[in-house]
């Protein structure tokens, strides 16, 4: 997405953004959008090759990006990545905790591993990167932390006990950390997307997607770019007085 095509005009020049789960889907859209707005973007995920694709897209549009492949559930790795970003670019202004996975099955059949993997990737990673990144923000007395939750964390979804629990946990974490650090001029907010057109929803197939659209008052899936636009606004100066909030972006699904 080029700067000329951005639907929201925000200038993030001289800002440094960290985006987890930046290798695909919503995370990639967020990283590219922040890069188009002028931010230097640290792209984080496990898959080095796909991260390079995201970074190339940012660079091709005239932005600046760096790739940091790591296991987002590993405490030492999270700390090392944040330190590496600060070493390279001297600060962190924006942190977007987006990394997430699903391991769907009904609760009687859910294994310990399916529970633990989702909680670790979706919730533990938010804690790890927030704890590590917040130090740099508090030193500068400026920061924007934006956590990507889900409507599943608000309303639940059969077959997603692990996913829904992780996303509900993100909301509680967001609201608590927002209260802890508001005095340091660091905002913390959560976005809860509904059904967004990504590789994950593509896997549902046309029939299931049609059923989903019937449930959504807007009668369509959302776009990753629409989530990225919401992140862009919260990351901007216009979002300075918004903290501890949960923005639902779901076409009216939870209205």
Spatial neighbors of 221 by CB under 8 A, at least 6 apart, are 195, 196, 197, 201, 209, 212, 213, 251
Angle made by CA atoms 215, 192, 53, in degrees to the nearest 5: 105
Give the number of residues written for the chain: 255
> Could you say which of 142, 163, 233, 241 is catalytic?
163
Three-state DSSP state, 250: coil
DSSP 196: E
Of 230, 170, 162, 244, the C-alpha closest to 196 is 230
Closest of 181, 196, 188, 185 to residue 229, by C-alpha? 196
Q: Which residue, 57, 52, 49, is CA-closest to 30? A: 57
142 is catalytic: no
Residue 82 to residue 88: CA distance in whole angstroms: 10
- Label residue 156 left, alpha or beta by phi (over 0 means left) and psi (-120 to 50 means alpha): left
- Measured in degrees and rounded to the nearest 5, phi and psi for residue 23 equal -85, -15
Q: How far is CA 148 from the centre of its chain?
A: 4
What sign has the CA pseudo-torsion 239, 69, 125, 160?
positive
How far apart are alpha carbons 105 and 49 in whole angstroms?
29
Residue numbers annotated as active site = 163
């Amino acid at each position: 997405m080029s700067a000329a095509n951005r639907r929201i005009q925000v200038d993030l020049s001289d800002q440094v953004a960290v985006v987890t789960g930046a290798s695909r889907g919503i995370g990639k859209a967020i990283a590219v959008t922040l890069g188009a707005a002028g931010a230097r973007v640290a792209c984080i995920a496990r898959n080095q090759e796909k991260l390079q694709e995201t970074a190339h897209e940012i660079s091709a549009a005239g932005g600046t990006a760096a790739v940091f492949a790591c296991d987002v559930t590993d405490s030492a790795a999270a700390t090392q990545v944040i330190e590496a970003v600060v070493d390279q670019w001297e600060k962190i202004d924006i942190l977007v905790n987006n990394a997430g996975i699903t391991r769907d099955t009904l609760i009687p059949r859910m294994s310990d591993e399916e529970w633990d993997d989702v909680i670790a990737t979706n919730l533990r990673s938010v804690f790890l990167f927030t704890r590590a990144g917040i130090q740099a923000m508090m030193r500068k007395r400026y920061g924007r932390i934006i956590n990507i939750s889900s409507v599943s964390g608000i309303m639940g979804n059969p077959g997603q006990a692990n996913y829904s629990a992780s996303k509900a946990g993100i909301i509680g974490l967001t609201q608590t950390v927002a209260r802890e650090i508001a005095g340091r001029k660091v905002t913390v907010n959560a976005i809860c997307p509904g059904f967004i057109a990504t590789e994950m929803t593509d896997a549902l197939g046309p029939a299931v997607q049609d059923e989903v659209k019937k449930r959504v008052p807007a009668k369509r899936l959302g776009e990753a770019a629409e989530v990225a636009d919401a992140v862009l606004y919260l990351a901007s100066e216009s979002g300075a007085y918004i903290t501890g909030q949960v923005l639902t972006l779901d076409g009216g699904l939870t209205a």
